[in-house]
Amino acid sequence: MNTREQLRLLILAVLERQPEHGYAIAQAIKARSDGLLNAREGTLYPALHALEAEGMVESHEHEIGGRVRREYRLTQKGGGALAKSRRQWEQQVRAVGAVIGGPV
């Protein structure tokens, strides 16, 4: 799984819990990874737009505090893609673990 696919997996996983706007998605990725992962604006928004074009997420604009924000929501198709990506990620982790060894 390459970096682009990993970002897509992270975005879908964040949206599985609840709809969020872009900045909140980035903050959730950072918080859940204890600051080890960052979703920068230059990669996050193109990924969100691609996921929306593919029907994995849908978006709606909402006004909050006088500001218009675009909120993203996981679709049923996105939920299926998330499940598939999780399986692929788990296979990759097992494969790397088998090569590098260490505690099981």
The tens digit of pLDDT for each residue in 47-102 reads 999 999 999 999 999 888 888 999 999 999 999 999 999 999 999 999 999 999 86
What confidence score (pLDDT) does residue 55 get? 97
What confidence score (pLDDT) does residue 74 get? 98
Domains with residue ranges and CATH for the chain? 3-90 (1.10.10.10)
Instruction: Let me know: does 56 contact 12? Beta carbons within 8 Å.
Output: yes
In a 10 Å sphere around its CB, with 0-12 CB exposed, 13-18 middle and 19+ buried, how is residue 91 labelled? exposed
What confidence score (pLDDT) does residue 63 get? 87
Whole-model pTM over 0.95:
no
Sheet holding 57-64, edge to edge: 20-21, 67-74, 57-64
Cα separation of 52 and 60, whole Å?
Answer: 11
The sign of the dihedral angle between the CA atoms of 27, 22, 57, 89 is negative
Is pLDDT larger for residue 32 or for residue 65?
32
